[in-house]
Amino acid sequence: MDAGADPGGIGVLDLQGGVQEHLDHLRRVGVATRPVKRAADLAGLAGLIIPGGESTCLSRLLTIFGLDAAIRQAYDQGLKLWGTCAGAILLARESVGETPFLGLIDIAVSRNAFGSQLDSFNREALAPAVAREPIPLTFIRAPKIVRAGERVRVLLRLDDYIAAAEDDRILVTVFHPELTPSLAFHRYFARKCGLSVVGDDDAGLDPDWTPLSWTRFSSHA
């Protein structure tokens, strides 16, 4: 846990993927945060980010460490969840052609819908509920959300797919906000968790951010 971190902050699942980058963004919006490696690390959290990575590997690790059951239990007790890229796949109720894993939000996802790693790309888009200005988006072997249930709110639709959606307790994005200078989605999720944040609802671009900013925390996160 961060020095002086208070219960009620946001954890980041620390098994694979962009863990430090998410921790860095949360610190930049003034939210207490800690990596989550064990079920005990979930205690007292208001929210948990399940980061990108490789969804099959993450599902196996979650099962091995008993975190799948712990996350379901914490969710039943009020924990808010945000899945980015592979995290969105793990949270989806339906995964096209595959068996769903946690199945906690009523969406269908199509895995690796854009192709291989070489087909990764960046673009900008406006998500009015999240920020007043267009937000930079980074897609890396991203899935597509191809269906959203009646109780799921679409936050961002692009071309023939949904890129961001939520229900009352879960946020999903198929892109990686933690790999851009935008803090908008991290502020949005923190507020969804009932936490106070610094900054306003513009695109949330941090002028001090660089792609290596997270390394200043990596030795003691």
- pLDDT tens profile 128-179: 999 999 999 999 888 999 999 999 999 999 999 999 999 999 999 999 999 9
Q: Is 94 a catalytic residue?
A: no
State the catalytic residue, choosing from 22, 25, 178, 193: 178
Question: What distance in Å separates the CA atoms of residue 186 and residue 88, rounded to the nearest whole number?
Answer: 15
- The confidence band for 218, taking pLDDT boundaries of 50, 70 and 90, is low
Q: Is 178 a catalytic residue?
A: yes
State the catalytic residue, choosing from 85, 166, 186, 193: 85
Question: What distance in Å separates the CA atoms of residue 51 and residue 173, rounded to the nearest whole number?
Answer: 10
Q: CATH number of 10-216: 3.30.465.10, 3.40.50.620, 3.40.50.880, 3.30.365.10?
A: 3.40.50.880
pTM summary value: 0.89
Q: Is 150 a catalytic residue?
A: no
**What residues contact residue 58 under an 8 Å CB cut-off, 6+ apart?**
13, 15, 16, 17, 50, 86, 87, 90
| Domain assignments of the chain as residue spans, ordered by start | 10-216
State the catalytic residue, choosing from 25, 176, 186, 193: 176
Query: Which pair of tokens denotes residue 10?
Result: 């946001």
Question: What distance in Å separates the CA atoms of residue 150 and residue 113, rounded to the nearest whole number?
Answer: 23
- The confidence band for 5, taking pLDDT boundaries of 50, 70 and 90, is very low
